[in-house]
């Protein structure tokens, strides 16, 4: 029996409870959300095994060679390039190079692709570059364009490729070629499909839409381990991620590949703007993953200053130095900012320096921005942080046992940010069993949403191609063409879309293990959302007894996510095996008896009159 008393509100629900967390992992940005189609565009990945993602093209009886040249590049940030030496070519027998994209390039009919590259030649006679999208097997040109003739100076060339009535496919490549003998150097080759909200240097629409459907309130950025980097020089150095792409040197992600930094700080913020959510800004706090740290004191000062500058870049108006830089980059309006996180998982810092590092950042940031809420990444002994970031990577059975974890935590202590959490079952994206673990955990977070101000599953994304995954158990999978949500993705979307403003008094009696619930209501909208989770193989009847509301509408909405086994899941080829289904149910006068199916996550949305 589930008793709910709407006349006894226990506490408000945090309006920012559910948010997003990901980072440059699993090809989340490069090869994922960030819509760039050219992989290794600035040729930062090359070695004894050759040039990653680039190969020589010799059409007809042309002859040429392709090599990495570390001596010349288009900018101070990008000081190297690809060198193409053409020994023999003519306009009908061109020589050039080809990029194979992120496990192919998605091409659709009647679509415009905008591209650019930087190049120079050894003479002014090499002529233009022919650019085309070509099919993998057929080698057919799907769209073509020609640049202006190259010169002996590094210059940027822009082009547009427009497809006709071609078949949709992901097995395509970008080819650049010339029809004259000579040498050319080329770098920072870029190609974008249409993006979400048509932003230049923007994001994939399908992935943005999937995130929007999760109804998030915030994005924790830029990571995770990605913030810290393996070593101090590999940290997320935000100043190197803003401005023209040609001025971004790129940097190694700790997840074993180079980040293009196309998803720079401003792009993160515009992502927030597009989804109408707030950034939760994590600033580098002087600790990197392999254990290097900076002691509190004068050596930490430059990092504190960097964080102050970063906060100003995000939230300062145009009269401030960094607000003016942001305006110059095209975004005069400041972004809203409430939470700043100092570091990431500093409990791994064996030097014990975090207390001092947090205190130093706290003092400097609060002096300038007293209203910002500053998140610590571990409990502190000497001071009370505003918020603490807790992380949980668990099995479903662990989460089933710990849904009451926050019920007894001191309400006079810091607030809680559950900044990373996930049931780690199923790969690449999680299965129904994981969704049940997630849902059980979310019922506990909702019940404690007076204490838990923010919560974000991590990580969100995974590229499902072989080699695309560094971290199993993610929520949204994709290849170059399509994407899909795991059962856990749908569980979160259901929870976040049915979150009231208040938690009323309630109790569940007589239920077996692995049955969970949460109730929130929204008096202004006249709704009561009852979430029920049955992580058992047998149905569970529940009698719902609602007090404190005289009149209920005669029908209610029931949303159900269910399956036959916990291993069931969605995949790139079968993206909708486990998806929520919506039905209308009758609401009798008196108690409502409802049977929760086996392995199911359900929401009953009641309307009061």
Task: Count helices and strands (H / E) in the chain.
Answer: 9, 35
- Residue closer to ligand AHR, measured from CB, 345 or 529: 345
- Residue closer to ligand AHR, measured from CB, 54 or 471: 471
Rounded to whole angstroms, how far apart are CA atoms 326 and 239?
A: 11
Shortest distance, position 289 Cβ to ligand AHR, whole Å: 9
Q: Which residue is nearest to ligand AHR (CB)?
A: 224
- Residue closer to ligand AHR, measured from CB, 312 or 345: 345
- Residue closer to ligand AHR, measured from CB, 127 or 216: 216
Shortest distance, position 473 Cβ to ligand AHR, whole Å: 10
Shortest distance, position 422 Cβ to ligand AHR, whole Å: 8
- Residue closer to ligand AHR, measured from CB, 340 or 559: 340
Shortest distance, position 488 Cβ to ligand AHR, whole Å: 14
CB contact at 8 A, 157 and 117: yes
CB contact at 8 A, 267 and 204: no
Rounded to whole angstroms, how far apart are CA atoms 129 and 175?
A: 10
Shortest distance, position 126 Cβ to ligand AHR, whole Å: 45
- Residue closer to ligand AHR, measured from CB, 222 or 414: 222
- Residue closer to ligand AHR, measured from CB, 224 or 229: 224
Shortest distance, position 22 Cβ to ligand AHR, whole Å: 8
As beta bridge partners, residue 221 has 281
- Residue closer to ligand AHR, measured from CB, 121 or 462: 462
The edge-to-edge listing of strands for the beta sheet with 63-69 is 63-69, 81-88, 182-192, 112-121, 155-162
Rounded to whole angstroms, how far apart are CA atoms 305 and 310?
A: 8
- Residue closer to ligand AHR, measured from CB, 133 or 476: 476
- Residue closer to ligand AHR, measured from CB, 429 or 533: 429
CB contact at 8 A, 223 and 282: yes
Shortest distance, position 224 Cβ to ligand AHR, whole Å: 3
Shortest distance, position 474 Cβ to ligand AHR, whole Å: 9
User: Dihedral angle at the C-alpha atoms of 188, 190, 195, 199, nearest 10 degrees?
Assistant: 40
Shortest distance, position 568 Cβ to ligand AHR, whole Å: 24
CB contact at 8 A, 536 and 514: yes
Rounded to whole angstroms, how far apart are CA atoms 64 and 477?
A: 39
Side-chain-facing half-sphere of 473: CA atoms under 13 Å: 20
Shortest distance, position 471 Cβ to ligand AHR, whole Å: 5
Rounded to whole angstroms, how far apart are CA atoms 483 and 461?
A: 10
Looking at residue 301, the DSSP 8-state letter turns out to be H
- Residue closer to ligand AHR, measured from CB, 261 or 390: 390
Shortest distance, position 21 Cβ to ligand AHR, whole Å: 7
- Residue closer to ligand AHR, measured from CB, 23 or 479: 23
| Contacts (Cβ under 8 Å, ≥6 apart) of 331 | 266, 269, 270
Rounded to whole angstroms, how far apart are CA atoms 128 and 125?
A: 9
| Dihedral sign of CA atoms 6, 11, 15, 19 in order | negative
- Residue closer to ligand AHR, measured from CB, 190 or 344: 344
| Contacts (Cβ under 8 Å, ≥6 apart) of 241 | 248, 261, 263, 264, 265
- Residue closer to ligand AHR, measured from CB, 22 or 241: 22
Shortest distance, position 345 Cβ to ligand AHR, whole Å: 5
Shortest distance, position 458 Cβ to ligand AHR, whole Å: 4
How is residue 179 written in tokens? 């029809």
CB contact at 8 A, 32 and 24: no
Binding site for ligand AHR (CB under 6 A): 23, 223-225, 344-345, 420, 458-459, 471
Residue with tokens 């505003």: 386
Cβ-count burial 586-600 (b if 16+ within 10 Å, e if not): ebeeeebebebbbbb
| Contacts (Cβ under 8 Å, ≥6 apart) of 601 | 435, 436, 439, 491, 494, 531, 532, 533, 560, 561, 562
Q: How far is CA 485 from CA 285, 434, 577, in A?
A: 34, 13, 10
- Residue closer to ligand AHR, measured from CB, 142 or 458: 458
Rounded to whole angstroms, how far apart are CA atoms 472 and 395?
A: 13
| Contacts (Cβ under 8 Å, ≥6 apart) of 404 | 444
Helix, strand and coil content of the chain, in percent to the nearest 5, comes to 20, 35, 45
Shortest distance, position 137 Cβ to ligand AHR, whole Å: 37
Rounded to whole angstroms, how far apart are CA atoms 575 and 565?
A: 17
Shortest distance, position 255 Cβ to ligand AHR, whole Å: 8
């Amino acid at each position: 029996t589930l008793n709910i008393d709407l006349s006894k509100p226990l506490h408000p629900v945090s309006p920012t409870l559910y948010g997003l967390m990901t980072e440059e992992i699993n090809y989340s940005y490069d090869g994922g959300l960030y819509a760039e189609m050219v992989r290794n565009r600035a040729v930062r990945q090359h070695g004894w095994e050759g040039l990653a993602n680039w190969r020589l093209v010799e059409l007809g009886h042309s002859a040429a060679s392709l090599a990495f040249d570390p001596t010349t590049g288009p900018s101070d940030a990008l000081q190297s390039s690809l060198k193409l030496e053409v020994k023999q070519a003519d306009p009908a027998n061109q020589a050039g190079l080809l990029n194979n994209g992120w496990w192919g390039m998605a091409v659709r009919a009647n679509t415009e692709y905008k591209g650019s590259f930087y190049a120079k030649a050894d003479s002014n006679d090499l002529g233009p570059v022919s650019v085309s999208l070509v099919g993998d097997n057929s080698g057919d040109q799907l769209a073509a364009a020609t640049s202006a003739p190259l010169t002996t100076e590094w210059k940027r060339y822009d082009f547009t490729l427009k497809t006709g009535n071609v078949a949709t496919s992901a097995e395509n490549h970008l080819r650049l070629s010339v029809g004259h003998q000579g040498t050319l150097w080329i770098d920072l080759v870029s190609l974008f499909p249409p993006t979400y909200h048509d932003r230049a240097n923007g994001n994939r629409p399908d992935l943005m839409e999937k995130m929007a459907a999760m109804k998030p309130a915030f994005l924790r950025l830029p990571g995770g381990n990605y913030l810290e980097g393996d070593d101090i020089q590999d940290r997320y150095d935000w100043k190197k991620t803003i401005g023209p792409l040609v001025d971004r040197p790129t940097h190694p992600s700790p997840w074993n590949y180079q980040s293009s930094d196309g998803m720079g700080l401003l792009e993160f913020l515009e992502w927030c703007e597009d989804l109408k959510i707030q950034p939760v800004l994590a600033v580098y706090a002087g600790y990197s993953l392999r254990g290097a740290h900076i002691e509190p004191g004068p050596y930490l000062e430059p990092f504190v200053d960097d964080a102050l500058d970063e906060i100003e870049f995000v939230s300062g108006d145009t009269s401030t130095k960094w607000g003016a830089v942001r305006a110059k980059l095209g975004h005069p309006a400041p972004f809203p900012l409430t939470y700043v996180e100092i570091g990431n998982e500093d409990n791994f810092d064996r030097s014990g320096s975090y207390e001092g590092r947090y205190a130093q950042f706290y003092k400097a940031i609060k002096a300038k921005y007293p209203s910002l809420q500053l998140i610590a990444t571990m409990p502190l002994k000497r001071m009370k942080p505003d918020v603490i970031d807790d992380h949980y990577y668990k099995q479903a059975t662990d989460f089933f046992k710990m849904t009451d974890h926050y019920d007894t935590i001191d309400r006079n202590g810091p607030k809680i940010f559950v900044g990373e959490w996930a049931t780690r079952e199923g790969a690449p994206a999680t299965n129904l069993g994981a969704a049940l673990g997630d849902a059980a955990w979310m019922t506990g977070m909702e019940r404690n949403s007076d204490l838990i101000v923010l919560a974000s599953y991590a990580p969100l994304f995974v590229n499902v191609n072989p080699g695309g995954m560094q971290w199993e158990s993610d929520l949204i999978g994709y290849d170059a063409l399509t994407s899909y949500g795991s059962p856990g993705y749908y569980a979160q979307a259901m929870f976040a879309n049915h979150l009231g403003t208040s938690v009323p008094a309630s109790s569940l009696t007589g239920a077996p293990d692995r049955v969970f619930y949460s109730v929130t209501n929204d008096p202004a909208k006249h709704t009561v959302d009852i979430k029920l989770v049955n992580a058992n193989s047998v149905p569970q009847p529940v009698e719902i007894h609602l007090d404190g509301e005289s009149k209920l509408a005669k029908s209610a909405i029931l949303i159900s996510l269910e399956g036959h086994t916990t291993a069931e899941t969605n995949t790139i080829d079968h993206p909708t095996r486990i998806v929520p289904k919506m039905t209308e149910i009758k609401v009798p006068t008196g108690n409502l008896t409802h049977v929760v199916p086996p392995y199911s996550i359900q929401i009953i949305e009641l309307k009061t009159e």
